[in-house]
Structure 1
Amino acid sequence: MTPILVFDLETIPDVEGLRALNGWGPDVGDEEVAERAFTARREAVGHDFLPLHLQKIAVVGCAFRDDDGFRVKCIGKADDPEAKLIDGFYKTIERYTPQLVSWNGSGFDLPVLHYRALIQGVQASRYWEMGEDDRDFKYSNYISRYHNRHIDLMDLLAKYNGRANAPLDELAKLCGFPGKLGMDGSQVWHAWRNGDADEVRGYCETDVVNTWLVYCRFRFMRGELTKAQYDAEVALVRTTLEGIDEPHWYQYLDAWAAPGRG
């Protein structure tokens, strides 16, 4: 089978970049830098969601499915530099040329990766291939919105209509899966600066599993999987998670076992 890589990012403010752009010295602490940026953003546009190029990648969560089974993990370690995380993601693409799957990857995760790879000087030749060296990529590459090497499941299900987008958490729960547990993206910076990196990484891992499960349901809906094959994929996820000794997976499996969950 073609390897499938489901991915998700968690980001924090790029305090070093914000200092450089605003002329703030090292005497201004990280928390103050971020708060100044949030305040300026709220005054300018009414919310504190920073521009994508100013969002530093803290976590890259991945679920990987190939002939060897199903795996879920975050790339690298919590204290790895951003460049190492980005390089690890793109090297996975270089090695496997996987099918990429995301939820809002076209609108958030991939543009962030583009900007941050540019800033950090990370190469990604396979990812950026568009048919110049490999003709198979001319009409099926990772970059073009309507090609299938990257499937932004949110974008596709909404028929490329932003007004029709659905939240992953709600759709996962409506399909009988656990959805988000205990955290959302707005809480990542607070958790990260309080030293809860493991909690953020666990949250990101549960998000990629939610995305994978919804993608399996989508594959069944479109007839790519039979009912037996779909059930086997879901069972494989359960079995894999039951074998991981991590608190967030205990919580996730407990939620999955609750009444009304598939």
Structure 2
Amino acid sequence: MAPTDMLAIALDFLPDVAGLRLLNRLPAELSDVEVAEYAFQRRRAARGSDSLPPHLLRLSGFALFGVQDGQFRLSSKASMDEAGLLGAFLDACAAAPALACWSEVEARLDALRLRALQAGVGRDGAWPRLNACMPLAVELCHAEAPPALAEVARLAGLPLMRAADEEWQWQRVLAGDWLALQGQIELRALVAWLLQRRQQSLSGLISQAEREADEARLREWLQVQPALHLQSFAMTWGQSTRR
């Protein structure tokens, strides 16, 4: 398998409202929104952020982007159907070459494992690839907390302006804006792949010329895609975003 054959993954999760109700013995009169806000407020008070522990998250969307068999490949989906998402994502992973991600924070593989464990969902070939998915941020920086993908992307001239923010994701779900959610997941997977290719160039697995040729091909590919967020990424890619 050539170093080029690799897909980067990004995952999104929602508060597990049913689980929060069960564990906190919350009354049925509380709406899903109120249950989620209750959980967010408790986490803000305890940790200073909205981020919920992995066992209280449910999968809401995924994206895989990269090159397979010499062609760019983008697979993504976002919906309330967690069982369907788990199955579709694991099927895609089982058929993929090597997998990469930016960090556990972006991919939330810990939450994915717990959700699959609770649901009893498995696919032959998927979990070995996921277990071998080394977060790129860990390879690059051994800091206690890895740098946020959105910040590294911005400094690298890659137009990804939003980090993995559970509150923002929850608001998109409440608004029924699944396309916006799916688009952000796709861009995170795209940026993770680009950074992984740069890391392969730094490590000598591919040459600088190969990496630059791949980026040129990707720009052309993005420009002819029907999705506006992909076209916009291509148009603004490389422009300085520093202030």
TM-score by length of 1: 0.82
CA RMSD of aligned residues (A): 2.4
Identity of matched residues, %: 30
8 A Cα contact 1:180 1:207, kept in partner: no
Cα separation, 2, equivalents of 1:198 and 1:260: 25
Match of 1:67 in 2: 69
8 A Cα contact 1:63 1:73, kept in partner: yes
Amino acid at match of 1:74: S
Match of 2:139 in 1: 156
8 A Cα contact 1:62 1:74, kept in partner: yes
Cα separation, 2, equivalents of 1:88 and 1:216: 25
Cα separation, 1, equivalents of 2:70 and 2:28: 48
**Residue-pair matches, total:** 239
Amino acid at match of 2:202: M
Cα separation, 2, equivalents of 1:205 and 1:109: 15
Cα separation, 2, equivalents of 1:259 and 1:90: 37
Match of 1:36 in 2: 38
Residue-by-residue CA offset, 1:195-251 (whole Å, 9 max, x unaligned): 111101101111111111111111111111112211121122212211211121232
TM-score by length of 2: 0.87
Q: 1:253 aligns with which of 229, 234, 237?
A: 234
- Any idea what SS the aligned residue of 1:176 has? coil
Match of 1:136 in 2: none
Unaligned stretches of 5+ in structure 1? 130-140, 144-148
Match of 2:172 in 1: 191
- Higher normalized contact order (CA 8 Å, seq sep 6+, divided by chain length): 2
8 A Cα contact 1:14 1:56, kept in partner: yes
Residue-by-residue CA offset, 1:87-116 (whole Å, 9 max, x unaligned): 2222223234x2110011378521011011
- Any idea what SS the aligned residue of 1:162 has? coil
Cα separation, 2, equivalents of 1:36 and 1:207: 28
Unaligned stretches of 5+ in structure 2? none
**TM-fit CA distance, 1:66:** 1.4
- Any idea what SS the aligned residue of 2:60 has? strand
Amino acid at match of 2:7: L
